[in-house]
């Protein structure tokens, strides 16, 4: 028997960074994300005899074979084991997966991967054990245990995640234009999971929860009242706050490359000159994410054409 599901990625504007419970991925602060419907992971499951599941790439004709590191495969299969245990099933599966965004683009795929795996596995396990399907909120909570940020991929376009509550929030900007500028194709040396641990040693960490809560309150107010300038300013401050935690950890680390800095400088200059622009954010990586309002479609194309094409990969 075979099952198949897909799930999108998401980008946090208020960041999940730091956990109060690392086993269950309970975040130290609430986060807010916009779901990236075009960046998708597909996962299929095939039940096989025996007890040991294994991972394979999900092949798409004409597209180069998707690869996962052995650590990522173990993490993925461990989540499947967690779901099997939850649902009281002992059989094995071949798990096949791929992303519709280029392998090695440096784009984190754990959000879409764990969301898609949780979806397909619960579907298969409910069918095999004749249990009722979990609600969307229950699915999100199960997915959170695999990788925290994946729980936000269950609600679109905006998702608010606070401790063990994950829900959709209604905001006026229901459709935005997303561009991500790929500044590194390499797998990052320090994973997000590791970063969650390391930031705790930063002298800036002790008030991080309060700062994130204040940023969230202000961002929700700005987005609700369609104050785009304020939304830009809060998001700018927020991702810099997270990156400062990395840079002030006991053993400092950074994802900010010279290219990221130059690009941020250019975006800031453009905002100062025109009074408008995209909301800018960065995750635990060097890539820069831009979100434009729909009516800025021409501006988005112009910026891409004038400054990005020929220099960087843009998705």
The CB-of-155 to ligand DP6 minimum distance in angstroms stands at: 14
CA dihedral (214, 215, 217, 220) in degrees, to 10, reads 180
Q: Which of residues 6-65 bind ligand DP6 (CB under 6 A)?
A: 12, 15-17, 25, 31
Among 129, 104, 98, 134, residue whose Cα is nearest residue 116: 98
Q: Which of residues 65-94 bind ligand DP6 (CB under 6 A)?
A: none
Q: Residues 248, 203: contact at Cβ < 8 Å?
A: yes
Q: Does 117 participate in binding ligand DP6 (rule CB under 6 A)? A: no
The CB-of-2 to ligand DP6 minimum distance in angstroms stands at: 27
Among 150, 116, 182, 204, residue whose Cα is nearest residue 315: 182
Q: Residues 309, 206: contact at Cβ < 8 Å?
A: no
User: How many helices, marked H, and strands, marked E, lie in the chain?
Assistant: 8, 12
Q: x/- site string to ligand DP6, residues 124 to 163, per CB under 6 A?
A: -----------------------xxx--------------
Q: Does 193 participate in binding ligand DP6 (rule CB under 6 A)? A: yes
Among 301, 306, 223, 220, residue whose Cα is nearest residue 263: 306
For ligand DP6, which is the closer residue by CB, 36 or 45? 36
Q: Which of residues 195-234 bind ligand DP6 (CB under 6 A)?
A: 196
For ligand DP6, which is the closer residue by CB, 16 or 93? 16
For ligand DP6, which is the closer residue by CB, 139 or 296? 139
For ligand DP6, which is the closer residue by CB, 147 or 296? 147
The CB-of-100 to ligand DP6 minimum distance in angstroms stands at: 19
Among 77, 92, 154, residue whose Cα is nearest residue 125: 92
For ligand DP6, which is the closer residue by CB, 3 or 34? 34
For ligand DP6, which is the closer residue by CB, 96 or 196? 196
The CB-of-68 to ligand DP6 minimum distance in angstroms stands at: 15
Half-sphere exposure of 189 (CA within 13 A, CB side): 4
Taking the CA atoms of 94, 95, 101 and 106 in sequence, report the sign of the dihedral they define: negative
The CB-of-277 to ligand DP6 minimum distance in angstroms stands at: 22
Give the residue closest to ligand DP6 by C-beta. Answer: 148
Number of shown-chain residues binding ligand DP6 (CB under 6 A): 15
Q: Does 101 participate in binding ligand DP6 (rule CB under 6 A)? A: no
What is the C-alpha separation between 61 and 67, in angstroms, rounded?
15
What is the C-alpha separation between 82 and 140, in angstroms, rounded?
14
Among 40, 102, 110, residue whose Cα is nearest residue 313: 102
Instruction: Name the token pair of 35.
Output: 């779901």
Q: 93, 222, 283, 290: which one contacts ligand DP6 (CB under 6 A)? A: 283
What is the C-alpha separation between 230 and 220, in angstroms, rounded?
10
The CB-of-261 to ligand DP6 minimum distance in angstroms stands at: 18
CA distance between the termini of the chain: 35
For ligand DP6, which is the closer residue by CB, 147 or 215? 147
Contact positions vs ligand DP6 (CB under 6 A): 12, 15-17, 25, 31, 110, 147-149, 192-193, 196, 283-284
């Amino acid at each position: 028997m075979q099952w198949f599901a897909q799930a999108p990625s998401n980008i946090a504007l208020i960041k999940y960074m730091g956990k109060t419970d690392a086993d269950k991925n309970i975040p130290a602060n609430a986060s807010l994300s916009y779901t990236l419907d075009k960046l998708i992971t597909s996962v299929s499951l095939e039940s096989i005899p025996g007890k040991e599941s294994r991972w394979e790439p999900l092949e798409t004709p004409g597209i180069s074979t998707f690869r996962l590191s052995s650590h990522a495969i173990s993490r993925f299969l461990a989540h499947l084991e967690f779901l099997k245990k939850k649902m009281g099933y002992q059989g094995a599966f071949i798990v096949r997966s791929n992303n519709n965004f280029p392998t090695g683009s440096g784009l984190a795929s754990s959000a879409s991967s764990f969301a898609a795996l949780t979806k397909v596995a619960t579907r298969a396990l409910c069918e095999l054990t004749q249990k009722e399907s979990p609600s969307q909120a229950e699915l999100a909570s199960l997915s959170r245990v695999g990788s925290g940020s994946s729980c936000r991929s269950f609600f679109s376009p905006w998702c608010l995640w606070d401790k063990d509550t994950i829900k959709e929030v209604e905001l006026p900007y229901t459709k935005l234009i997303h561009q991500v500028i790929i500044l590194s194709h390499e797998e990052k040396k320090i994973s997000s999971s590791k970063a969650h641990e390391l930031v705790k040693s930063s002298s800036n960490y002790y008030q991080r929860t309060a700062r994130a809560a204040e940023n969230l309150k202000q961002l929700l107010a700005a987005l609700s009242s369609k104050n785009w300038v304020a939304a830009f300013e809060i998001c700018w401050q927020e991702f810099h706050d997270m990156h400062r935690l990395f840079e002030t950890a006991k053993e400092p680390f950074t994802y900010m490359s010279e290219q990221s800095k130059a690009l941020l400088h250019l975006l800031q200059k453009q905002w100062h000159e025109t009074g408008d622009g995209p909301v800018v954010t960065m995750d635990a990586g060097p890539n820069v994410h831009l979100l434009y309002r729909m009516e800025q479609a021409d501006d988005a194309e112009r910026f891409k054409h004038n400054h990005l094409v020929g220099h960087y990969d843009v998705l």
